[in-house]
Structure 1
């Protein structure tokens, strides 16, 4: 699988172009199926694996430790830690457990970030995290403090690359300016909700917003910033008639774009899912998809996107559909 480089202030950290998300591993995706997907991903050349200390607290019986704990068992049984780039997140876990969310998210204070980093490493069975994200915004903690705390994890050798998820473009830009002014390692990854369809104007996503035009514009001007997208396949809505479009995307613009997507997929002999993934990878700026799959067959379909050749004309047709 082709590799991309995440900036870490040095030679960079190589990752696979597709990132495997593990949100439901250990809860709705049982261990046997999760291990099979992980094994296939590694076999296909994948290296980049994404989790969080919250996955999946909202599932009945879930507490948030399930995904990291499962990954730790898989890494120990397969002995592939040196072949894997591990990304996890902090800041969104309800505190106390069961409290209203996101009003009572744990936040990004120094104590929370440092304590949870150690807890994540323990569950994952590793002595360092490759990528560590501020999961959602915490307006109670100053950006200066957040930047300093994440930077301290890098300088202490506990984390290689830091990033943020679900942050406004101005918050990301300000955090990076603070780091530069202080000579500290700053956020070089941003993970945001993103897909081929555009949400209707005014659509609400709560604490998990769709990527903004401002953030994409900012990323184009920042060569050391890598953009990742989650929920890229809309939980199967592109290909499964039993999965309607999320209401935020169900508007006339989407139906026009879906028609163009279907035409391009037919011309290429591909599935709409594969075209969406190829479009993201070829976009400006390029977006690394975080795959949310629950079976080997779903993963294999996604891997097929790497074989697609979107030329300039096809990319333009997809971009300009409206």
Structure 2
């Protein structure tokens, strides 16, 4: 498996990063440990989480994912084998997003405690609060880097204007630079990356990692009718995909998957990691069998014709909208 550097850093990632949003939500601690053990054995050593994961589950306060990962790393004594990313800025009960300096400094210490580690490899601005000057946010990270609490920083979900302002501030005022940008990107939704964000990241050597890489499970092919969604945790995320556009994409995935003898999920992930400017796809799994798609995606060689077929299917909605 080929590893890539994240931005201008010494951090390396496999083509698939594991999304820790499932820990403490759809997976309990025992199930999470099992998946984490299997990931490490297979060589998927980059884990992505956030302070807010999995606050949305009944009875949770946030931080559950970090706690599970921290306990696992400590019990297995594997901290040095993991590239660990977490995030700050989401609403953790305070009623609003917050990326002010004081909040970041406090939240970082809380994440470190939950993760049972002295340092975070990659610390993301999770969401913009649209209030805090970019220089203030970056100065908080500068302090955390100086004291060894974090190594590098990334951003997620920023507008092109705020990302541009942040990169300019880093250059002009000798502040830390976002090395990675994380955004939703998949065959169902390409617009949030392709365009200004992609150009900005390519120009400034910022890696792009993608979340919702399987469109909340839709691209696995298991949701094809409204009946398939009944009783599913991801119903609200997926229901709008059951239109002609979504069905056309599934048809193309079916064809490419059959040709290569792999799963739809494997093809969908392979498409992402072969797209220009993309460093790695973030994906989750709740069963051991789901990890097979990771191996398929990193091993398959999609042809130019395969990529064109998938590109065309996923572009048709744009053409119709125009």
- TM-score under structure 2 length normalisation: 0.88
Deviation at 1:273, TM superposition (A): 0.7
Aligned partner of 2:62 in structure 1 is: 64
Structure 1 runs, 4 residues or longer, greater than 4 Å off: none
Equivalent residue number for residue 13 of structure 1 = 11
CA-based RMSD of the aligned residues comes to 1.9
Match of 1:126 among 97, 102, 117: 117
Corresponding residue for 1:237?
218
The alpha-carbon deviation at position 109 of structure 1 amounts to 0.8
| CA deviation after TM superposition for structure 1 residue 185, in Å | 2.0
Checking the alignment, whether the CA contact within 8 Å between 1:232 and 1:289 is kept in structure 2 is yes
8 Å contact 2:8–2:179 — kept in the other structure?
Answer: yes
Aligned length: 303
SS at match of 1:246: helix
**Aligned-pair distance for 1:4?**
0.9
Instruction: List aligned pairs for 1:63-82, cutoff 5 A.
Output: 63-82=61-80
What corresponds to 2:201 in structure 1? 219
- Flag structure 2 segments of 5+ consecutive residues without an equivalent: 230-234, 317-322
- Secondary structure (helix, strand or coil) at the match of 2:13 reads strand
1:26–1:67 CA contact under 8 A, matched in 2: yes
Q: Distance in 1 between matches of 2:91 and 2:295?
A: 31
Residues 157-196 of structure 1: matches in 2 within 5 Å?
157-196=148-187
What is the deviation of 1:250? 4.1
Q: Distance in 2 between matches of 1:250 and 1:161?
A: 39
2:246 is the alignment partner of 1:265:
no
SS of match in other structure, 2:21: coil
**Once the two structures are superposed, what CA deviation does each residue of 1:259-309 show, in whole Å capped at 9, x if it has no partner?**
222211111111111011101111011241111211211122322211110
Pairs within 5 Å for 1:151-162? 151-162=142-153
1:40, CA displacement in angstroms?
0.5
- List aligned pairs for 1:303-322, cutoff 5 A: 303-321=295-313, 322=316
Q: Does structure 2 retain, via aligned residues, the 8 Å contact 1:151–1:186? A: no
- Say which is worse superposed, 255-264 or 54-63, in terms of deviation: 255-264
For residues 216 and 276 of structure 1, the distance between their equivalents in structure 2, rounded to whole angstroms, comes to 19
* Residue aligning to 1:23: 21
Q: Is the 8 A contact 2:4 2:279 kept in 1?
A: no
SS in 2 for 1:283: coil
